[in-house]
Amino acid sequence: MSKVFISYSQSDRDKVAQFVQALQTVNITGWLDATDIAAGDDISSAVRNALSGASAVLVFLSNNALSSRWVQFEIGAAEALEKRIIPVILSGTEPREGLPDILKDRRFIDARNRPPSLVVEEIRRILEREN
């Protein structure tokens, strides 16, 4: 079973939850701040610990995510830990517009107008190739 870190904007929580549920059907668990950080926990430390234990980082990108300081922090921390970063475009018209430099040259998964099950199957294949 793979464990991935899920980076997203809180504004996209409902949409991302659909992908997290679909990930579970293919034995991939996702670390989510909303469910995996307890009240009183130091958020930065919890995020770094979760990133350390993740096999990859899924960054669900939208205009909201691109303006989120936490998403930016998580992308930078993942890069520093040399984690596989898989960008997933949730919304927006031009996927490369506004991307952080770290992500500009990466191949992304376009999840716009696609069922979560198909997107998750693509993620599963990527993760299997690395094991």
> Using CA atoms, how far apart are residues 13 and 111, in angstroms rounded to an integer?
15
| Greatest CA separation for the chain | 39
Please name the amino acid found at residue 53: G
CATH number at residue 28: 3.40.50.10140
pLDDT, position 1? 63
Domain range for 20 is: 2-130
Considering only CA atoms, which of 49, 57, 44 is closest in space to residue 4? 57
pLDDT, position 75? 93
**pTM for the whole structure:** 0.89
Per-residue pLDDT tens for 52-107?
Answer: 889 999 999 998 998 899 899 999 999 999 999 999 999 875 656 677 778 888 88
Calculate ∠ Cα 97-5-21, nearest 5°: 95
The domain total for the chain is 1
Name the average pLDDT for the chain.
87
Rounded average pLDDT over 105-126: 92
